[in-house]
């Protein structure tokens, strides 16, 4: 199946959804394999949206409707379960005097989406102060979480099992990115004081502000386009997910003139103007999102610091490692980064080799060393 025509149709469906209009009829002559079509809908993260927007989807292939209806059902139940877990965790952190900010998808789900379950995601991201890590870990353990082996330089992965039958994951961040180099560029421009209350999540829940979250979403989109996005056993090097376009559309719908000015200033200062512009253009192209011409002009003219763009778009794997090493502020962080480079976790290796899920960790590491050594020497990704 050629995905372009089907993706275009899906974009038209989401376009109609955001305007509370009926989705268009199934295009005449559009032939899709149900399994491939389901994979594309999974990639775009819009199964529940399609079910809610399209009612019974009478003119859709029956097998496809059944597949996405099952996705939508699980997505709704997952949200109920995840909300309970996340709300309890946030309240436990607040009781311990710890300030935690919800980032990215979960912050959006409970601030700009009409129903949180519509924002499909696999986990939640929390940002804390680095000095609070030990206390936060104690709260996580007391709340029934265990630390997963998927460790990154500036974040940890924690899991809570069987909340209403689901396993749940929280990525714990103490810097704004898992990359020390990217974090260093962002943190002088993204402001923790720009926060929003998330009362629909819990009484004490707070999310990162919409301007800063938009920057993070656009940077995350650029990173996935370069390093891949995993869907099932496949890694797709695409970044035009419709759920990200919808994130951007819903965020900027509430922007004031001052918000647009602050976005342009923060994007220029961090060197992410072209990355943000690409995200906005995705929303314009896919969903007809209206962006003020003054904001577009400011982003087009405001490239600013080029280091972030270089790191995400052009730097080789060796160069990114060296940039991260130089940006790590302490000896402990440098040692941690080197150790993770030499001995990556199984989860990180499976992101690179999704076809090797049955391989032992030691064999995966040998494969990584053999395949990676030549690329590292030559400076490739």
Q: Per the domain annotation, does 14 fall within a domain?
A: yes
Q: Per the domain annotation, does 34 fall within a domain?
A: yes
- pTM equals 0.87
Could you tell me the CA-to-CA distances from 60 to 47, 241, 308, 326, 340 in Å, in that order?
Answer: 13, 21, 43, 53, 47
Q: Per the domain annotation, does 41 fall within a domain?
A: yes
Per-residue pLDDT tens for 24-51?
999 988 888 989 999 999 999 999 999 9
Per-residue pLDDT tens for 156-174?
999 987 666 788 999 999 9
Per-residue pLDDT tens for 117-160?
999 999 999 999 999 999 999 999 999 999 886 567 788 999 98
SS3 (DSSP) at 207: strand
Q: Per the domain annotation, does 11 fall within a domain?
A: yes
Q: Please give the tally of structural domains in the chain.
A: 1
**What is the DSSP code (8-state) at residue 198?**
-
Q: Per the domain annotation, does 259 fall within a domain?
A: no
The range of the structural domain enclosing residue 20 comes to 3-72
Q: Per the domain annotation, does 160 fall within a domain?
A: no
Q: Per the domain annotation, does 50 fall within a domain?
A: yes
Per-residue pLDDT tens for 176-194?
888 899 988 888 766 666 8
Minimum mean pLDDT range among 12-21, 125-134, 349-358 = 349-358
SS3 (DSSP) at 295: helix
């Amino acid at each position: 199946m050629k995905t372009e025509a089907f993706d275009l149709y899906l974009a038209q469906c989401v376009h109609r959804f955001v305007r509370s209009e009926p989705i268009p009829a199934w295009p005449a002559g559009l032939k899709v394999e149900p399994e491939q079509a389901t994979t594309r809908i999974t990639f775009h993260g819009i199964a529940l949206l399609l079910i809610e927007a399209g009612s019974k989807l009478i003119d859709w292939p029956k097998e496809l409707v059944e597949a996405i209806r099952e996705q939508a059902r699980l997505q709704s139940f997952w949200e109920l379960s995840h909300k309970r877990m996340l709300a309890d965790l946030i309240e436990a952190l607040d009781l311990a005097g710890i300030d935690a900010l919800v980032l990215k998808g979960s912050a959006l789900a409970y601030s700009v989406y009409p129903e949180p379950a519509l924002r499909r995601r696999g986990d939640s991201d929390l940002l804390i102060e680095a000095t609070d890590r030990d206390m936060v870990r104690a709260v996580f353990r007391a709340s029934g979480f265990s630390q997963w082996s998927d460790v990154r330089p500036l974040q940890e992965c924690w899991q809570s099992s069987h909340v209403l039958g689901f396993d749940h994951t929280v990525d714990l961040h103490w810097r704004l990115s898992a990359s020390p180099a990217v974090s260093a560029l962002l943190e002088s421009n993204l402001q923790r004081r720009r926060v929003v209350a998330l009362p629909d999540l819990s009484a004490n829940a707070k999310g990162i502000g919409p301007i800063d979250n938009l920057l993070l979403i656009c940077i995350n989109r650029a990173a996935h386009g370069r390093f891949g996005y995993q869907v099932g056993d496949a890694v797709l090097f695409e970044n035009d997910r419709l759920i990200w376009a919808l994130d951007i559309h819903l965020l900027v719908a509430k922007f004031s003139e001052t918000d647009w000015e602050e976005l342009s200033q923060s994007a220029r200062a961090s060197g992410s103007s072209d990355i943000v512009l690409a995200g906005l253009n995705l929303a314009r192209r896919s969903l007809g999102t209206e962006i003020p011409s003054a904001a577009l002009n400011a982003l087009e003219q405001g490239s600013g610091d080029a280091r972030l763009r270089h790191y995400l778009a052009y730097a080789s794997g060796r160069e990114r490692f060296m940039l991260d090493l130089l940006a790590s502020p302490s000896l402990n962080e440098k040692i941690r980064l080197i150790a993770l480079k030499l001995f990556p976790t199984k989860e990180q290796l499976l992101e690179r080799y999704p076809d090797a899920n049955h391989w032992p960790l030691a064999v995966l590491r040998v494969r990584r060393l053999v395949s990676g050594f030549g690329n590292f020497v030559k400076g490739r990704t």
